[in-house]
Amino acid sequence: MPTPIRWEAEGTAKITLITSCKGGVGKSTVAANLAMSLARRGRRVLLADCDFDMRCLDLMLGVENEIMYDLYDAAKGRVETEKVLIRDERSENLWFAAAPYKGGRDITAEEFSGIIDSALEAVPFDNIILDTPGSLGVPAVLESARADSAIIVASHQPSSIRAAGQTGEYLKNNRISDRRLLINSFDFEGAATGDRPGINEIIDRSFIQLCGIIPHEHQLMLGAETGKLACQLRGVNAAAAFDNVAARLCGLYVPLFHGFRGMKAKRQVKRLLENI
């Protein structure tokens, strides 16, 4: 049973990195859906795209045509930070800040910290979710300067599991002690038959405590291409999976696969749980 991340004293914002030094593991999908799940639980959430090389969260959220200003504009004082914040129409509790379309690597740690402070003055956020690039370059250093926790995303791929462990060590050296593993795009059938690494193997090889598992579902990937999140899709277990992670982040204890539907999924879950 994953141990929940405990919130700080009331009135402070929890700043969480969604990260891995490997690209292609679904960090942005995780960041967008987890932010929405927290917002649906009544948390005031700021989701910030910190991939200064290739922004994509605006596409996943379906707000690409609403962006007038981005984090670079706020960092360099071109506009007030409040003008960068876009409120998501699907939830009154979710705001989004876009990465610059080009450039942004010259944003300093002080400027980035200033954006966080200004955003908190504009809206008393409970959570700030920072989506990071697939590297451990300058953006990660800027973000970790203010983050107090991290969710490290991995898939079944051996390279992503190794990258998760390396990312954990990097963040530990940057004084982020609250590091949790999220297994994304988990293949239940492959894990149950032994064709893919199972839950315990991924945890053991990454050396990071688990906070949740997101199932592999084709609909979720299609949704990301059309600006739809898991909560808008029919017949997917990903919505329950992200809500489970959000619940644990709020300090609640819920079973690992709580709310999953479908007899096939239930049989696979039972087989997996017998080996945990």
Cross-strand pairs, 212: 182
CA–CA separation, 132 vs 58, rounded Å?
A: 14
Euclidean distance between the first and final Cα of the chain, in Å?
Answer: 9
Cross-strand pairs, 48: 97, 130
Give the per-residue pLDDT at 1: 38
3-state helix vs strand vs coil in the chain, percent to 5: 40, 15, 40
Q: Taking residues 86-100, what's their average pLDDT?
A: 96
For residues 9 and 91, the answer to whether their CB atoms sit within 8 Å is no
Using pLDDT thresholds of 50, 70 and 90, give the confidence band for residue 135: confident
pLDDT tens-digit map of 158-170 = 999 999 999 999 9
Q: Taking residues 256-275, what's their average pLDDT?
A: 69
Measured CA to CA in angstroms, residue 89 lies from 5, 62, 73, 121, 201 at distances of 28, 10, 23, 22, 40
Give the per-residue pLDDT at 189: 87
Residue 94 has pLDDT above 60, yes or no: yes
Give the per-residue pLDDT at 227: 93
Q: Give the other-Cβ count within 10 Å of 252's Cβ.
A: 11
* SS3 (DSSP) at 136: coil
Bridge pairing between strands 127-131 and 14-19: parallel
